[in-house]
Structure 1
């Protein structure tokens, strides 16, 4: 969840664990690793609940 850009959905396979902030190679948005992951998890939970 931390490698997926919350803005455009691009997966950053080059992201290393020590990188706490990263710039998406697709949309150029800056992502803070933990915040980005938590938003991706929240959005996935909402998607799952909405499809029930």
Structure 2
């Protein structure tokens, strides 16, 4: 239940924060032990550099 609450809070932070950037995604990857997914998602990181909103 604690993990579910943490994920819910994280989701809210991501959705509510329009300034959520690459550094934040790297932090999420590290915290969730999924850094390999973030690093492997070229389109996500590239779209953040160009300011595209289609990475959500």
TM-score normalised by length of structure 1: 0.29
Instruction: Pick 1 or 2: higher relative contact order, CA cutoff 8 A, min separation 6.
Output: 1
TM-score normalised by length of structure 2: 0.28
